[in-house]
């Protein structure tokens, strides 16, 4: 899945999550930051790490949530969600993801073709939520 689709798919869901705790403007800023950072797990392609393994692991999500719990530093919460949304979104692609290190392949979607349409719907949903929620 490309970076733009990850960004657009994450935006409304991150906004809903952050809106539970933060003001509307804070939630918009955190959702945009979170959506932007969803590219991070795919740095495995740049770093030469086997694709969709350790960087697409729920262990990293857990690590960032623990760091957030210990420090209460908002950035760890943003990172945890960015990785979590990325993993969920990749599970809808034809390649799916492995639940590293367990090696169970998770594939919720049969093809990746629906993603562009879903991205546009997600963007519209985010705009509607930001105006009304």
**Residue 60 beta carbon to Zn ion: minimum distance, rounded to whole angstroms:** 12
- Of the two residues 26 and 101, which places its CB atom closer to Zn ion in the complex? 101
Of the residues 10, 42, 78, 93, which one makes contact with Zn ion according to CB under 5 A? 42
Lookup: tokens for 14:
């991150």
**Number of residues engaging Zn ion in binding (CB under 5 A):** 3
Q: Burial, 128: exposed, middle or buried (Cβ in 10 Å; 0-12, 13-18, 19+)?
A: exposed
Q: Considering the complex, what minimum distance in angstroms separates the CB of residue 90 from Zn ion?
A: 4
Q: CA 99, 106, 79, 64 torsion: positive or negative?
A: negative
> Burial of 72 by CB count in 10 Å (0-12 exposed, 13-18 middle, 19+ buried)?
exposed
Stretch that binds Zn ion, among 23-31, 35-43, 65-73, 76-84 (CB under 5 A): 35-43
The three-class DSSP label of residue 128 is helix
CB of 98 to Zn ion, least distance (A): 11
Does 5 participate in binding Zn ion (rule CB under 5 A)? no
Among 90, 92, 93, 100, binds Zn ion (CB under 5 A): 90
CB burial of 77-101 (b: ≥16 within 10 Å; e: otherwise) equals bbbbbbbbbbbebbbbbeebbbbbe
Site for Zn ion in 111-130 (CB under 5 A): none
Q: Considering the complex, what minimum distance in angstroms separates the CB of residue 27 from Zn ion? A: 25
Question: The tokens of 66 are what?
Answer: 């623990």
Nearer to Zn ion, 54 or 102 (CB): 54
Question: Which residues lie near Zn ion (CB under 5 A)?
Answer: 41-42, 90
């Amino acid at each position: 899945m490309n970076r733009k689709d990850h960004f657009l798919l994450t935006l409304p869901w991150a906004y809903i999550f952050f809106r539970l705790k933060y003001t509307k403007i804070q939630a918009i800023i955190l959702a945009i930051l979170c959506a932007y950072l969803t590219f991070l797990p795919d740095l495995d392609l740049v770093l030469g790490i086997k694709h969709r393994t350790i960087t697409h692991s729920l262990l990293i999500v857990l690590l960032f949530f623990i760091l957030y719990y210990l420090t209460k530093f908002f950035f760890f919460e943003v990172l945890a969600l960015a990785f979590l949304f990325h993993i969920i979104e990749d599970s809808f692609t034809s390649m799916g993801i492995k639940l590293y290190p367990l090696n169970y392949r998770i594939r919720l979607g049969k093809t990746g073709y629906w993603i562009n349409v879903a991205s546009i719907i997600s963007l519209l949903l985010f705009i509607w939520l930001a105006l009304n929620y």
